[in-house]
Amino acid sequence: DAGVIQSPRHEVTEMGQEVTLRCKPISGHDYLFWYRQTMMRGLELLIYFNNNVPIDDSGMPEDRFSAKMPNASFSTLKIQPSEPRDSAVYFCASRRQGTYEQYFGPGTRLTVT
Alpha carbons 76 and 49: distance in angstroms, whole number:
11
Element (H, E) at 54: strand 53-56
**Cβ closer to another protein: 12 or 15?**
12
Is the Cβ–Cβ distance between 93 and 102 less than 8 Å? yes
**Cβ closer to another protein: 22 or 81?**
22
Does residue 70 interact with another protein by CB under 8 A? no
Nearest to 90 by CA among 67, 68, 104, 107: 107
CB of 85 to another protein, least distance (A): 20
CB of 41 to another protein, least distance (A): 10
The contact set with another protein (CB under 8 A) reads 4, 31, 33, 42-45, 48, 50, 55-56, 91, 93, 95, 100-107
